[in-house]
Amino acid sequence: MKKMSKKKCFINGASFTIKNCGIQLEDLITTTVGKKKNELSLAVAVNNELVQKSEWKSKVIKEGDVIEIVHPFFGG
Amino acid sequence: MSKKKDELIIDGKKFASRLIMGTSLYPNLEVLNKSLEASDTEIITVSMRRFNKEGEKFFLKGIKNKYTFLPNTAGCFTKKEALLTAELSRESLKTEWIKLELISENEMLLPDPIELFATCEELVKKKFKIFAYCSDDPILCKRLEELGCAAVMPLISPIGSGLGIRNEHNLEIIRSICKGVIIVDAGIGTPSHACKVMELGFDGVLLNSSVARSFDPIQMATAMNLAVKSGRLSYLSGAIEKTKKAVRSTPFRGKISNF
């Protein structure tokens, strides 16, 4: 039987292991942020492009993808 | 006869306060909130940063939702970074407002006018309402205004320096040639700086460090609030002309004879 290999993507600068077949962006956000993901005014970019909330479910994250999950913070 | 309300109008929205407050560098959330309250501000600036627990606390429990958010692109050096940050902030906060900051180096944090202008051109096409943080160059300010920025925001000295007005003449020229919303951003150190800016006829003041890093931020926020209001009232009242010689205030007529 062929062994399932594990591959990596990058979330907010840290590496994250994903299955060979990839993972849905929404699942990845839930894993990273938790249940409050809908309350936090999150915005997400994959490979330097905005992914709108309506596309989180359909967007599949593949090996080497660079994901940024951001929200409002203190600022001047 | 009733007097017309003096409101700050940006992007068709009306504000009673002309003081925009930053939310960074405060000792804690309680002092931040009390300072915002004391300032009477209605617009506050925020950044977009990677998700973390501290940020979660800030947004969910920290800031009252009565304020209008003005997200910034602080820390961006390139058009590419700024464009993505603007897109992320629009998605996150459901606002087209963006305080566009594009700095050129790390010591003085001075804005890069070339990169700024090019980025503004792109953002205007994407229907953003830009608050352009720029240097105090009158022609640049005019060009940014003509490009369609919602507000042009020249500095008066470097961010966080507290140096106040360094080139008053430039500010006078900016105010005379730009007819739209001009808000001074960066360099305010004391309430007298804020008051002077308003006396020059600017539409508002944006500040952060001068309150947040002061010994008593809440009290300083009150002082800035009064200074901005005072400067505005002074501007609207029309100050007297300066003369080289004294102009008597008490009438001479009727004085007892000289002896």
Find tokens 């000295």 and name the residue.
B157
CA distance A60 to A25: 6
Q: Which residues of A touch B (CB under 8 A)?
A: 12-13, 32-33, 36, 39-45, 48-50, 52-53, 68-76
Which pLDDT belongs to residue A3? 57
Q: What is the DSSP string of B63-105?
A: S-TTSEEEEB-TT--SHHHHHHHHHHHHHHH---EEEE--BS-
Res B244 pLDDT > 60: yes
How do beta strands A49-51 and B8-10 pair? Answer: unpaired
**B89 touching A (Cβ < 8 Å):** yes
Tell me how close the Cα of A45 comes to any Cα of chain B, in angstroms.
7
Closest CA to B36 of B221, B244, B216: B221
Q: Is B4 an annotated catalytic residue?
A: no
Mean pLDDT is lowest, of A20-24, A41-45, B140-144, B218-222, for A20-24
Contacts of B76 (CB under 8 A, 6+ apart): B82, B85, B101, B102, B103
Decide if B58 and A42 are in contact by the 8 Å CB cutoff.
no
> What average pLDDT does range A56-68 have in this prediction?
93
Cβ-Cβ contacts under 8 Å, A41 against chain B: 59, 92-93
B106-153 pLDDT, tens per residue? 999 999 999 999 999 999 999 999 999 999 999 999 999 999 999 999
Inter-residue contact B256 to B221 (CB < 8 Å): no
Decide if B88 and A75 are in contact by the 8 Å CB cutoff.
no
Mean pLDDT is lowest, of A29-33, B14-18, B60-64, B227-231, for B60-64
Q: Which of B99, B129, B196, B229 is catalytic?
A: B99
Closest CA to B134 of B121, B144, B148: B144
**In chain A, what percentage of residues exceed pLDDT 70?**
92
Residue A40 is nearest to which of B50, B60, B89, comparing CB atoms?
A: B60
Which pLDDT belongs to residue B32? 94
Q: Which two tokens stand for residue A76?
A: 């001047």
